[in-house]
């Protein structure tokens, strides 16, 4: 009897062991499934992003744990700790996920042989060999240094804003355009004809003449990528700040090489892209001047005159910025009472884009506008003199006074706005000034006859 009971206990014990082991194995398998990660509602956005991405056939633990790590007790204890934090409501609302490069480079995934040269999105040249594992700005790049986009269906996709920060910070300045080759290193210039307003042009001519892209696309790069000291407080306490290093290479090693911290958690954003002219373009005059020249800017935009419809310059429509023509630094301006850094216009700006014809056109416009201003000044001065001598109570005086003021306004607008900024508009404004002066003279002479 005792022998029988002993056998029963052995069977029961073995059954319990099997159930426990089976349950443990089942639990282990269950906790390895993406569905388990979604058990916490705070993971919903990340789960949805993963589900819609190209990685939706790869379990979370296959990436977020290094190869072989997910079956270790330490990994399960880490997961258990996260569950406890969630249940007790003491979890950190600032999520941090680490992905070891080895998870990406396993033979079943991307492998260690990185792709060669390729075209990202069909238009940007890229080569993993010049990025992965290489030192850049004092840090060794990891997979997630660039592949960190987890928005929508872009789970662990390349984040192009990271490219902009590395390639543009401290290297691009509005007042000192980068070379054309700087842009062509990554992407080619458009080959199709482009029509803006009534102007049609092709980039091929300007590429051949090595015209700097920023002459027209000054706003293609926006932002400076600077670091606000307050950004450190997102992770560190104020009492901790004095103990932290401020050496750039060391900071990059800690945050980028050793850990995965998104660049824009510290840096301000740098944006990049071509802009289409809509309304009045905001130019970067203030990058060279202490105060922007309102008259020149409005004349270039073809607006602000009296008695003439708006008429933007063709180069304004084509988004040619101030530095497209103002290329020569004036060293004498540094000691001037107005201060600031002044970039003088040079005919070379015309030649670079239009060849010798540009120089001839510049000379013709400059001479024509100077002559036009001289003739207009004579007529407007005569009208002003007649107005000053007239009886302010005479019939037509008020209307004549307004016309003289309009004539003087347009003349001064062209003179101080530099008519060559918009030759056609300046010519129309001066013509309108002469008409105003003639009409005023007619009104005044009519009043005198009466």
**Of residues 197, 411, 375, the one with CA closest to residue 295:** 411
Give, in order, the Cα–Cα distances in Å from 250 to each of 137, 253, 400.
10, 5, 74
Cα–chain center distance at 437: 48
What average pLDDT does this structure show over 32-41?
73
| CATH ID of 32-104, from 1.10.3820.10, 3.30.590.10, 3.40.50.300, 3.40.1350.10 | 1.10.3820.10
Q: SS3 for 9? A: helix
Element (H, E) at 45: helix 44-52
The verdict on domain 356-449 having CATH code 1.20.140.10 is: yes
Cβ pair 267, 165 in contact under 8 A:
yes
Cβ pair 242, 102 in contact under 8 A:
no
What average pLDDT does this structure show over 9-31?
50
Q: pTM for the full model? A: 0.57
Question: What per-residue confidence (pLDDT) applies to 7?
Answer: 46
Q: What is the pLDDT of residues 96-119, one digit of tens each?
A: 677 888 878 887 787 777 667 888
Domain boundaries for CATH 1.20.140.10 within the chain: 356-449
Domain boundaries for CATH 1.10.3820.10 within the chain: 32-104
pLDDT tier at 15, thresholds 50, 70, 90 = very low
Cα–chain center distance at 65: 35
Distance CA(36)–CA(13), nearest Å, equals 31
Q: Calculate what percentage of the chain has a pLDDT beyond 90.
A: 10
Q: What is the pLDDT of residues 294-333, one digit of tens each?
A: 678 888 888 889 999 998 988 888 778 777 787 777 655 5
pLDDT tier at 176, thresholds 50, 70, 90 = low
| Tokens 């005919």 sit on residue | 347
The sign of the CA dihedral 249, 250, 255, 259 is: positive
Lowest mean pLDDT among 153-157, 311-315, 334-338, 426-430: 334-338
- Residue 36 above 70 pLDDT? yes
pLDDT tier at 17, thresholds 50, 70, 90 = low
**Of residues 138, 184, 222, 134, the one with CA closest to residue 146:** 134
Question: What per-residue confidence (pLDDT) applies to 12?
Answer: 46
- In this structure, the strands spanning 147-149 and 157-158 are antiparallel
Distance CA(242)–CA(240), nearest Å, equals 6
Strand partners, 36: none
Residue positions counted in the chain: 450
Element (H, E) at 35: helix 34-37
In this structure, what DSSP letter does residue 173 have? B
Cβ pair 417, 299 in contact under 8 A:
yes
Runs of H (alpha helix) within 89-212: 101-104, 143-146, 160-168, 180-184, 203-208
Cβ pair 376, 413 in contact under 8 A:
no
Question: What per-residue confidence (pLDDT) applies to 284?
Answer: 56
Q: What is the pLDDT of residues 52-88, one digit of tens each?
A: 887 888 888 888 878 877 667 777 677 777 777 767 7
> How confident is the prediction for the chain on average, in pLDDT?
76
**Of residues 275, 298, 278, the one with CA closest to residue 421:** 298
Cβ pair 266, 300 in contact under 8 A:
no
Runs of H (alpha helix) within 59-187: 60-64, 73-88, 101-104, 143-146, 160-168, 180-184
Cα separation of the two ends of the chain: 146
């Amino acid at each position: 009897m005792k022998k029988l009971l002993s056998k029963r206990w052995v069977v029961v014990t073995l059954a319990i062991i099997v159930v426990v082991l089976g349950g443990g194995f089942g639990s282990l398998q269950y906790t390895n499934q993406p569905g388990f990660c979604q058990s916490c509602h705070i993971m919903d956005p990340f789960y949805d992003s993963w589900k819609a991405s190209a990685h939706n056939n790869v379990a979370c633990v296959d990436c977020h744990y290094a190869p072989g790590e997910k079956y270790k007790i330490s990994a399960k204890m880490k997961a258990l700790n996260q569950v406890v934090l969630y249940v007790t409501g003491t979890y950190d609302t600032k999520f941090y996920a680490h992905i070891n490069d080895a998870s990406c480079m396993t033979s079943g995934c991307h492998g260690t042989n990185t792709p060669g040269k390729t075209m990202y999105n069909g238009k940007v040249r890229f080569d993993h060999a010049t990025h992965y594992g290489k030192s850049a700005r004092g840090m060794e790049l990891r997979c997630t240094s660039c592949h960190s986009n987890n928005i929508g269906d872009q789970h662990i996709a390349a984040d192009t804003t990271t490219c902009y920060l590395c390639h543009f910070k401290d290297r691009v300045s509005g007042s000192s355009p980068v070379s054309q080759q700087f842009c062509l290193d990554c992407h080619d210039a458009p080959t199709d004809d482009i029509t803006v307003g009534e102007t049609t042009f092709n980039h091929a001519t300007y590429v051949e003449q090595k015209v700097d892209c920023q002459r027209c696309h000054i706003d293609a790069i926006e932002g400076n990528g600077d670091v606000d000291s307050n950004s450190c407080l997102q992770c560190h306490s104020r009492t901790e700040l004095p103990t932290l290093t401020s050496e750039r290479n060391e900071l990059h090693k800690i945050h980028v090489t050793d850990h995965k911290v998104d660049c824009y958690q510290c840096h301000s954003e740098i944006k990049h892209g071509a802009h289409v002219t809509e309304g009045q373009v905001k130019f970067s005059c203030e990058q060279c001047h202490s105060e922007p020249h309102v008259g020149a800017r409005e004349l270039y935009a073809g607006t602000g005159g009296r008695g003439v419809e708006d008429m933007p310059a063709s180069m304004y429509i084509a988004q040619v910025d101030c530095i497209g023509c103002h290329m020569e630094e004036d060293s004498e301006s540094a000691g001037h009472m107005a201060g600031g850094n002044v970039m003088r216009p040079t005919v070379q700006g015309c030649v670079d884009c239009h060849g010798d014809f540009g120089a001839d056109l510049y000379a013709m416009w400059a001479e024509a506008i100077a002559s036009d201003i001289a003739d207009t000044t004579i007529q407007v001065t005569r009208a002003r003199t007649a107005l000053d001598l007239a009886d302010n109570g005479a019939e037509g005086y008020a209307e004549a006074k307004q016309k003289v003021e309009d004539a003087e306004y347009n003349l001064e607008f062209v003179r101080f706005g530099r008519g060559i900024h918009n030759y056609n508009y300046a010519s129309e404004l001066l013509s309108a000034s002469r008409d105003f002066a003639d009409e005023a003279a007619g009104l005044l002479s009519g009043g005198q006859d009466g």
